[in-house]
């Protein structure tokens, strides 16, 4: 496993992160096996959100299962996310919502602090001064060590930064071979023949690199948000052919090559994987030891339906 230092944030974090969105359905024993397998493969970073499962079910499951793993709290980094309220049908970054959300997460996870807290999706009514007050209180109380965001465009981060004292160290965004708008827009700039030239995120990739904000790529194997994985999916024959060739060459799985494609990007991203299958976790962690060439990276990108302008 490779590790990176997050600028102004936690040090020596694994480049592959275990996402916990899919953990609620597991038994405590199986959840403990997922957490422990990931750790034994070198993963030391676990991603949560209050909205993963009903009423914080992912956090509750993790909290119950963790005691069965033999691990100590300080062995791992735990990331929480707040702001999404599916039952209420809204996003809420008010001070009160942020503070009570973190208290709920700590209780369910059975921990005293979160290593990182991300604002999950933009509350269209957010007041950056209120967010700043909430972050100050959480930091002073020792409940959160570092702060970041998810799915945020550059100008919203700038607006937050005008008031928030703590560095914004992470932006968690969707990126996969299939869902690669983060990258596409730069390649096709000014090209009216394709929608891929559209900047849908205000060039957030370059912005984050300029501002030393680590990109965390969520759902690295998914088609869209709920389309299932593209790995071994007959709708993606060219991509699977290329993934298969490189997987054979490197003696790893196709899923590992898809994750290695993200880790090959010089922005030094983390990839957040969501499998709950311990064998898949082991397979995928091999990605961190694969270094794709410049040419491999382009071949994979083009096999996913892109073209050179
Ligand atoms: N910030 C945000 O807005 C946001 C949104 C969504 C997700 N996330 C984060 O991203 C994490 C990952 O999301 P995700 O679960 O959609 O990611 P993913 O790793 O792209 O997809 C995982 C899914 O792919 C399946 N899969 C099929 N074949 C696989 C193989 N060979 N190896 C590995 N997995 C395979 C897994 O099934 P098996 O379990 O059977 O392996 C699982 O259902 C979440 O847990 C969450 O932490 C963040």
Model confidence pLDDT, tens digit, residues 75-104:
999 999 999 999 999 999 999 999 999 999
| CATH superfamily, with its number, for domain 3-303 | NADP-dependent oxidoreductase domain (3.20.20.100)
What is the C-alpha to C-alpha distance for residues 251 and 243, in angstroms, rounded to an integer? 11
Is residue 38 within 6 Å of ligand 1 at its C-beta? Answer: no
Task: Report angle CA 245, 249, 250 to the nearest 5 degrees.
Answer: 120
The answer to whether residue 133 scores a pLDDT higher than 90 is yes
Q: Give the residue whose CA is nearest to atom 35 of ligand 1.
A: 275
Q: What is the pLDDT at residue 237?
A: 97
List residues bridging with 272 in a β-sheet: 17, 218
How far is ligand 1, taken at its centre, from the CA of residue 274, in Å? 3
- Active-site positions read 52
- For residue 160, how many other CB atoms are within 10 A of its CB? 22
How far is ligand 1, taken at its centre, from the CA of residue 95, in Å? 31
What is the share, in percent, of the chain residues with pLDDT greater than 90?
A: 95
What is the C-alpha to C-alpha distance for residues 50 and 56, in angstroms, rounded to an integer? 5
Candidate from 43, 80, 149, 218 with most ligand 1 atoms within 8 A of CB, to mutate = 218
Candidate from 57, 219, 225, 253 with most ligand 1 atoms within 8 A of CB, to mutate = 219
Q: Which helix (H) or strand (E) holds 62?
A: helix 57-66
Is residue 262 within 6 Å of ligand 1 at its C-beta? Answer: no
The answer to whether residue 220 scores a pLDDT higher than 90 is yes
The answer to whether residue 226 scores a pLDDT higher than 90 is no
Is residue 220 within 6 Å of ligand 1 at its C-beta? Answer: yes
Q: What is the pLDDT at residue 127?
A: 97
Q: What is the pLDDT at residue 120?
A: 98
What is the share, in percent, of the chain residues with pLDDT greater than 70?
A: 100
Q: In sequence order, what are the residues at sequence separation of 6 or more whose Cβ sits closer than 8 angstroms to the Cβ of residue 224?
A: 178, 179
* Atom from ligand 1 closest to the CA of residue 20: 45
Are the C-beta atoms of 42 and 288 separated by less than 8 Å? yes
DSSP symbol at 213: P
Are the C-beta atoms of 99 and 83 separated by less than 8 Å? no
Q: What is the pLDDT at residue 158?
A: 98
The answer to whether residue 288 scores a pLDDT higher than 90 is no
What value does the mean pLDDT of the chain take?
A: 97
pLDDT in tens, 249-259: 999 999 999 99
Q: What is the pLDDT at residue 225?
A: 83
Q: What is the pLDDT at residue 29?
A: 98
Q: What is the pLDDT at residue 224?
A: 86
């Amino acid at each position: 496993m490779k590790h990176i230092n997050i600028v102004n944030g936690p040090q020596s974090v694994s480049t592959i992160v275990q996402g916990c969105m899919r953990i609620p359905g597991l038994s405590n024993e199986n959840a403990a096996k997922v957490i422990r397998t990931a750790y034994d493969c070198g993963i030391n970073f676990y991603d949560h959100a209050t909205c993963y499962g009903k009423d914080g079910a992912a956090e509750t499951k993790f909290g119950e299962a963790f005691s069965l793993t033999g691990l100590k709290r300080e062995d791992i980094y735990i990331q929480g996310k707040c702001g999404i309220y599916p039952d209420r049908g809204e996003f809420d970054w008010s001070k009160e919502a942020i503070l009570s959300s973190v208290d709920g997460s700590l209780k369910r996870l059975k921990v005293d602090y979160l290593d990182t807290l991300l604002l999950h999706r933009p509350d269209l009514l957010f007041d950056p001064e209120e967010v700043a007050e909430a972050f100050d209180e959480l930091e002073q109380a020792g409940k959160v060590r570092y702060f970041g965001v998810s799915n945020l465009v550059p100008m919203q981060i700038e607006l937050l930064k005008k008031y928030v004292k703590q560095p914004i160290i992470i932006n968690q965004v969707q990126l996969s071979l299939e869902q690669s708008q983060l990258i596409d827009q730069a390649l096709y700039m000014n090209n009216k023949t394709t929608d891929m030239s559209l900047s849908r995120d205000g060039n957030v990739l370059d912005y984050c690199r300029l501002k030393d904000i680590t990109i965390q790529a969520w759902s690295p194997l998914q088609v869209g948000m709920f389309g299932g994985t593209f790995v071994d999916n007959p709708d993606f024959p060219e991509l699977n052919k290329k993934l298969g060739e490189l997987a054979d060459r490197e003696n790893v799985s196709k899923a590992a090559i898809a994750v290695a494609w993200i880790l090959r990007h010089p922005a030094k991203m983390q990839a957040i994987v969501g499998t709950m299958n311990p064998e898949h976790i082991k397979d995928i962690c091999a990605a961190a030891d694969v270094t794709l060439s410049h040419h491999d990276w382009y071949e994979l990108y083009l096999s996913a339906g892109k073209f050179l302008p």
